[in-house]
Amino acid sequence: MAAVQLLSTFATAASSASPTTPKRVGLARHAAAPYLLARQYFAGNALARRARARSTQIDAQINQQAVSVKRECKILVLGTEGSGKSTIVRQMRLHEPKGISPDDRLAARSAVVAHLLDSAHAVLDALEKLDLQFVDPGNADNADFVRGYVLDAEDKLNSDIAEAIRSLWHDVVVATLMGRSGEFRLVDNATYFLEAAGRIGADDYVPTDEDMLKARAPVGTVSQTQLQLDGMSIHLLEVGMQKSTKSRWIQAFDDITSIVFCASLGDYDAQATGTTRKALDESLVLFEDTVNSSWFQHTSVILLLTKLDLFEAKLATVPLKKYASDYDDGADVGAAMKYILRQYMNRNRANLLVYPVPVEATDPTATVCRRITLTVVKDTILQSALRTSGILC
């Protein structure tokens, strides 16, 4: 399902979660004088149209002035571990005019190779957990080879290890394993990388855009990326967080225009690393701390619901109800997303402007994040300019 198609569904869910939803005003009480009403209506409409056009013109002027005053802005990219922060930043960078440099691409090879090996280990662990044996007897040796494999200094795979992984992955027992996917968890995108073992093991392998987006590359505490969007210089500050470490770190960032909060849809069945808490609960706590913080009173929030593709695939085999007892709508993707979105919106007690967007962050062709970020940033700068000038309070 395309992310953009889901935007309206989400806007509805988001607004129904807000206590200030405006009521509709019906026209039925004017039914006694339909002709008069029609004239008044159309005259009113023409006036309204002119007023609207004028207002749009003024908005555009203020918008231009506000944005030209402020051609630089900072965006915090937040979310719990593995929620997709780096992936989103990379996806936005892919569409930069200069794109990804060949050096960056080569540097990503280590992450891809490590991800492939992690995926192979995860399959071996899952086979062990479910007590499943290889059908091809040669694969027992391949499994030992993969388990004991140490990468060379260049982090390259050789063709032997690539072939061993390929052979394990194509063993008939793996089909049985995948049929029981509700009973174990692989690392994200394991299937994608295992399918590509032969390609990744080639001597002249260079990661593609999709490889780069699908590989895990944890960063340290903060990493900064600069983007040029529509003439604006945008600093994206990714804050790596193991868990919701309350708001201790928040004060380190001032003058933030917007927050991009990554909330993984696809991890509803995951545990947060190093805790007994569910990954979703961990993310909700971090979101709650962030949006209700006095430091971000005038900051807008783009709530990116990441891993939409994994979520769609998982719902059919791993029931959401198992992890959310009050959810009753089965494998319906829209209903399940609305349920998760509601959990986030209910925590927005400060009524911050939150723009929810479901995304497949690993789609190299998608530009929705860039477009929405730009729109929200401009809007936030405009609001701030109106507040400074006293027009808005």
Ligand X SMILES: Nc1nc2c(ncn2[C@@H]2O[C@H](COP(=O)(O)OP(=O)(O)OP(=O)(O)O)[C@@H](O)[C@H]2O)c(=O)[nH]1
Sign of the C-alpha dihedral computed for residues 327, 329, 335 and 336 taken in this order: positive
Q: Which residues pair with 270 in a beta bridge?
A: none
Provide the minimum distance between the beta carbon of 188 and Mg ion in the complex, in angstroms, as a whole number.
12
Q: From CA 293, how far away is CA 291, in angstroms rounded? A: 6
Distance CA 357, CA 372 (A): 9
Q: Which stretch binds ligand X (CB under 6 A): 136-144, 155-163, 308-316, 379-387?
A: 308-316
- Residue count (the chain): 393
Nearer to ligand X, 341 or 385 (CB): 341
Residue 2 lies near ligand X (rule: CB under 6 A): no
CB under 8 Å to 50, separation ≥6 — which residues? Answer: none
Asked if 207 touches ligand X (CB under 6 A), the answer is no
275 forms part of the interface with ligand X (CB under 6 A): no
217 lines the binding site for ligand X (CB under 6 A): yes
The only residue of 119, 139, 142, 189 in contact with ligand X, by rule CB under 6 A: 189
364 interacts with ligand X by CB under 6 A:
no
For residue 306, which of 262, 248, 363, 245 has the smallest C-alpha distance? 262
Q: How far is the CB of 107 from Mg ion (least distance, A)?
A: 15
219 contacts Mg ion (rule: CB under 5 A): yes
| Interaction of residue 201 with ligand X, rule CB under 6 A | no
| Position of minimal CB gap to Mg ion | 86
The token duo for 120 is 């192979």
224 binds Mg ion, rule: CB under 5 A: no
Q: How far is the CB of 100 from ligand X (least distance, A)?
A: 15
3-state secondary structure of 169: helix
Smaller CB separation from ligand X, 171 or 209? 209
Beta carbon of residue 301, minimum distance to ligand X (angstroms, whole number) = 16
Residue 5: is it exposed, middle or buried by C-beta count within 10 angstroms (0-12/13-18/19+)?
A: exposed
Residue in the structure block whose two tokens are 């662990």: 125
**Binder of ligand X out of 360, 366, 380, 385 (CB under 6 A):** 360
Q: Which of the 8 DSSP states describes residue 221?
A: S
> What is the per-residue DSSP string for 70-85?
--EEEEEEE-STTSSH
244 interacts with ligand X by CB under 6 A: no
Site string for Mg ion, 85-124 (x = CB under 5 A): xx--------------------------------------
Window of 35-43, 129-137, 161-169, 354-362 that interacts with ligand X by CB under 6 A: 354-362
Q: By CB under 6 A, name the one of 309, 320, 357, 368 that touches ligand X.
A: 309
Sketch the per residue contact string, 54 through 93, with ligand X: x for CB under 6 A, - otherwise: -------------------------x-xxxxxxx------
Tell me the window of 15-23, 95-103, 133-141, 305-313 that interacts with ligand X (CB under 6 A): 305-313
State yes or no: residue 361 binds ligand X (CB under 6 A): yes
CB of 317 to ligand X, least distance (A): 16
CA atoms of 386 and 168, how far apart (whole Å): 61
How many residues make contact with ligand X (CB under 6 A)? 27
Contact 175, 127 (CB under 8 A): no
**C-beta of 198 vs 240, nearer to ligand X:** 240
Residue 83, binding choice from Mg ion, ligand X, none, Cβ under 5 to 8 Å by partner class: ligand X
Contact of residue 209 among Mg ion, ligand X, none (CB under 5-8 Å per partner type):
none
Strand partners, 224: 237
Q: Which residue shows structure tokens 């992310």? A: 3
Instruction: Classify residue 337 as exposed, middle or buried by CB count within 10 Å of its CB (0-12, 13-18, 19+).
Output: buried
Please state the closest distance from residue 210 (CB atom) to ligand X, in A: 9
In which element (H, E) is residue 357 found? Answer: strand 354-358
Sequence-separated contacts (24+) of 36-41 with Cβ below 8 Å: none
- The H or E element spanning position 225 is strand 222-229
The C-alpha atoms of residue 231 and residue 223 are separated, in whole angstroms, by 22
CB–CB of 323/311 below 8 Å?
no
Residues at the site binding ligand X, with contacts judged by CB under 6 A = 79, 81-87, 188-189, 213-219, 240, 262, 306-310, 360-362
Residues at the site binding Mg ion, with contacts judged by CB under 5 A = 85-86, 219
